[in-house]
Amino acid sequence: MQKFRLACCLIQFAGEETRNPEKVFREVADAGWQGVEGLRLSSAEQLVEMAVLARRYGLHLVNMLGTQSAGIDGVSYNITLGNDTAEVPFRWRKEWGGMNLSAEGFRRAVDSLAPVLAFAKSHGVRPFHHAHLGSIIETVEDAERVLALAPDLWLLLDTGHMLAAGSNPMDVFASPSLRGRIGHVHLKDFHADNPSTWDHRTQVFGERARFAELGAGNTGLDVKAVLAQLDLVGYNGWISVELDRPYPPRPAAEAGRVNREYLLKLGY
């Protein structure tokens, strides 16, 4: 029996989660999710307000981000919520030497995370960096390089972004340095107009490719295999199913139900 829990990332609601969080929480809870991720909070007071509201619908707030560039307040928010993991601020390639980042660029980017990594470690929180297009972690190879430079850093395994970067997220589980250092998971599929010619460096994401509902991708993601491997490596954190925007196009709440039903059919 798997130990991980399932959350719905709210980015697909395109701001409605901020304008009308109660409606969104109710829709997510009705679909059968256990948690929500993706709320942007501006204060500790708002954190309390949203945590209380989420609790009303049986939901938990997952991976809450703060407002400081150093990421200290984000770690503090997650400590307050009882979460034992937290996302560190993105380190974008363009800010540390460009898309073809040098070894020195990787090192400087990772070194800049030292304050938030130290703060998280001192409070028993596992900090993780997102695998995300344009960040210092796009591929499995990037993840191995970055985590080797930062022994206290963990990986946010994002299946959609790795697929979009031309990397196979299943290779994470074959990597001795990564399989035991997954701090969080974003589970999403990926669809390209022409998978054989898609190139995230030369083509525009969102025009010729986009994230997709689970099972609606065309680049080979085996969702059940990913979940089975997470179970096998003992992952016991949150899995957030995420869509930037629903694809195939449909209302956000309906997309949430479709993704949850897909997982239920797989036994999760």
Encode pLDDT of 58-117 as tens digits: 999 999 988 777 799 999 999 999 999 999 999 999 999 999 999 999 999 999 999 999
> Domain extents for the chain?
5-265
Q: Which CATH number is correct for 5-265, 3.40.50.2300, 1.10.10.10, 3.40.30.10, 3.20.20.150?
A: 3.20.20.150
- Residue pair 238/5 in contact (Cβ under 8 Å)? The answer is yes
Tell me which residue has tokens 């501006």: 42
Nearest CA to 186 among 53, 78, 262, 87? 87
Neighbours of 74 (CB within 10 A): 23
Task: Give pLDDT, residue 2.
Answer: 65
Stretch 6-22: mean pLDDT: 97
Task: Tell me what the pLDDT averaged over the chain comes to.
Answer: 96
Residues 6 or more apart whose CB falls under 8 angstroms from that of 224 comprise 266
Q: Give the integer Cα–Cα distance in Å for 135 and 99.
A: 9
| pLDDT (tens digit per residue) in 163-183 | 999 999 999 999 999 999 999
Q: Give the integer Cα–Cα distance in Å for 71 and 75.
A: 7
